């Protein structure tokens, strides 16, 4: 049951990101429409071309569907810090598309997106810590990630944060609140050195 719920959450998360990308046309104007031109740019390290090429392979658009190639190109873009690519890799690893199913890798990429301030990623990461999906179950970290997602405007996260606040000891709650504040500061200031 956890696996089915996790997959549903991941799909909703990735779908929401893709809708946001389409609405804002983040990369539509920056990458040509011709497959060969996109591939040349991707091979030169263009992050948007790598992401688009990964999506093309994942969805079989203008090329035969090839999940391994999708993972390859999405990983290239994700390693350069593109949250959309990181989030799409969550789906690939959770579903075992082009790679063996690996919830730990899904958590790795979800964490990368969450650390960039994506409230949906933060919500899903809170859920994963709360359920112990891909990570050891940890109520303190569930509180932290739900708290960050709540600050980011996720209404459901507030309810989950409040639930975990009730079950944590006062000491663990204080530690969780301090960690959430530090992470929020790091996210908003892009301070990578804050521990």
> What CATH number is given to the structural domain containing 21?
1.25.40.10
Per-10-residue mean pLDDT, the chain, length 195? 51 48 42 83 96 94 94 97 92 94 94 92 94 94 97 92 96 97 91 56
Q: In three state form, how does the secondary structure of the chain look?
A: CHHHHHHHHHHHHHHHHHHHHHHHCCCCCCCCCCHHHHHHHHHCCCHHHHHHHHHHHHHCCCCCCCHHHHHHHHHHHHHCCCHHHHHHHHHHHHHCCCCCCCHHHHHHHHHHHHCCCCHHHHHHHHHHHHHCCCCCCCHHHHHHHHHHHHHCCCHHHHHHHHHHHHHCCHHHHHHHHHHHHHHHHHHHHCCCCCC
Domain enclosing residue 157, as ranges: 138-195
| 57 lies in some domain | yes
Tell whether pTM > 0.85: no
Predicted local confidence at residue 190, as pLDDT = 77
Predicted local confidence at residue 20, as pLDDT = 42
Q: Which one of 57, 84, 118 terminates a domain?
A: 118
| 178 lies in some domain | yes
């Amino acid at each position: 049951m956890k696996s089915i719920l996790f997959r549903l959450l991941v799909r909703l998360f990735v779908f929401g990101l893709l809708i946001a990308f389409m609405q804002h046309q983040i990369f539509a104007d920056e990458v040509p429409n011709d497959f060969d031109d996109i591939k040349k740019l991707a091979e030169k390290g263009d992050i948007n071309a790598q992401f688009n090429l990964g999506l093309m392979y994942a969805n079989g658009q203008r090329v035969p569907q090839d999940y391994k190639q999708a993972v390859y190109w999405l990983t290239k873009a994700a390693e350069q810090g593109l949250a959309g690519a990181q989030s799409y890799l969550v789906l690939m690893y959770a579903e075992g598309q082009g790679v063996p199913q690996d919830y730990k890798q899904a958590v790795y990429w979800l964490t990368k997106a969450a650390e960039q301030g994506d409230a949906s990623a933060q919500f899903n990461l809170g859920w994963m810590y709360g359920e112990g999906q891909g990570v050891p179950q940890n109520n303190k970290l569930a509180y932290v990630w739900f708290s960050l997602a709540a600050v980011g405007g996720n209404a459901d996260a507030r309810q989950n944060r409040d639930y975990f606040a009730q079950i944590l000891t006062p000491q663990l709650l204080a530690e969780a609140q301090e960690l959430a504040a530090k992470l929020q500061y790091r996210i908003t200031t892009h301070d990578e050195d804050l521990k």
